Amino acid sequence: MITITKLEVQKYDTNRLNVYIDKGFGEEYGFSVHKDTMIKFGLRKGLELDEVDLIEIEYGDEARKAYNKAVEYLGYKMRTEEEVREHLLKKEYDEHIVEDVVNKLQKQGYINDEEYAFAFVRTQIRSNKKGPSVIRKELEGKGVHSTYIQAALKEFSEEKQVEIAYQLAEKFQKKTERLSFIQLKQKIEETLVRRGFSFKIIQIVFEMMPVEQSSDEEWEALKKNAEKAMRRYDRHDDYTKKLKVKQALYRKGFSLELIERYLEEIE
């Protein structure tokens, strides 16, 4: 049997105690525990323990440490079950302890993936930056079950998706000066797809907004691109230079009519 000979509060952490024991060869340092662990197991001077008791006490104290780490991690913002699990595993806690802690936090309401999914979707809607498919991928990456994701995304109505996608497209269009109508439409589509919006929503946006540039805007965009191309091919003779400029502008989506008009004007 093992007998506890002394409990001593640690100097730098008053919530923990050093436990001294006697295995029959005199007093020696045994282990340290949190005050809560001491109370839970009724540790006191003179208490006799066996090896099974020591294993249970050690497990309980490690579980307490892991629990405190998890609560601290959750104190900054909401986390998913998988995020908490990965955080504790990185801290090198035993898998059984991690599962016990996660289960305890779930029962206490500190972890709730369903609530997390709804909160995450609402935040993304307010930020006006991401579409459903990107939100879905991010939630999947956080380990949220597909059932919760599907339910939460129902709050992201088609009307709201169109509103956000339209704002993004309008913002992109305003800051773009050197694109032809075709390029502009392609770039807007690429941007919205990358942000997670479906082609159905993108088509609705195109129908709503004046994506096609005015003749003056198209002409100014062509001139800027043409001047840049003229400088790039300046080392060639006039015939070759015009041919290459013409090809470059056509590849950028400008009409042959506007290209010919530009070339005639510079002559």
Stretch among 47-51, 127-131, 166-170, 224-228 having the lowest mean pLDDT: 224-228
Q: What's the pLDDT band for 156 if we cut at 50, 70, 90?
A: very high
pLDDT tens-digit map of 21-62: 888 888 889 888 889 899 989 999 989 888 899 899 999 999
For 215-266, CATH number out of 1.10.10, 3.90.1720, 1.10.3470, 1.10.287 equals 1.10.10
Stretch among 133-137, 159-163, 185-189 having the lowest mean pLDDT: 185-189
Per-residue pLDDT at 90 exceeds 80: yes
Per-residue pLDDT at 113 exceeds 80: yes
d(CA 156, CA 195): 14
User: pTM value?
Assistant: 0.69
Mean pLDDT score of the chain: 86
More confident residue, 247 or 255: 247
Per-residue pLDDT at 120 exceeds 90: yes
Per-residue pLDDT at 261 exceeds 70: yes
173, two tokens: 């269009």
Per-residue pLDDT at 102 exceeds 90: yes
pLDDT at 222: 72
Same fold, 157-213 and 215-266: yes
pLDDT at 217: 66
pLDDT at 94: 92
Per-residue pLDDT at 259 exceeds 90: no
More confident residue, 153 or 181: 153
pLDDT at 207: 81
pLDDT at 210: 61
Per-residue pLDDT at 85 exceeds 50: yes
More confident residue, 14 or 87: 87
| Helical (H) or strand (E) element with 196 | none
Helix/strand/coil for 18: strand
8-state DSSP, 79: -
Query: Exposure of 266 by Cβ count < 10 A (0-12 exposed, 13-18 middle, 19+ buried)?
Result: exposed
Q: Where are the domains of the chain?
A: 157-213, 215-266
CB atoms within 10 A of CB 95: 10
| Helical (H) or strand (E) element with 19 | strand 16-22
d(CA 214, CA 50): 87
More confident residue, 219 or 19: 19
pLDDT at 244: 79
Q: What's the pLDDT band for 1 if we cut at 50, 70, 90?
A: confident
Which CATH number does 157-213 carry?
A: 1.10.10
1, two tokens: 């049997």
d(CA 217, CA 222): 9
Task: Give the residue carrying structure tokens 């230079």.
Answer: 241
Helix/strand/coil for 47: coil
Residue 99 φ then ψ, to 5°: -65, -40
Q: Which residues of 160-190 are buried (b: 16+ CB within 10 A; e: fewer)?
A: ebbebbbebbeebbeeeeebbbebbbeebbe
More confident residue, 17 or 176: 17
More confident residue, 189 or 255: 189
pLDDT at 211: 47
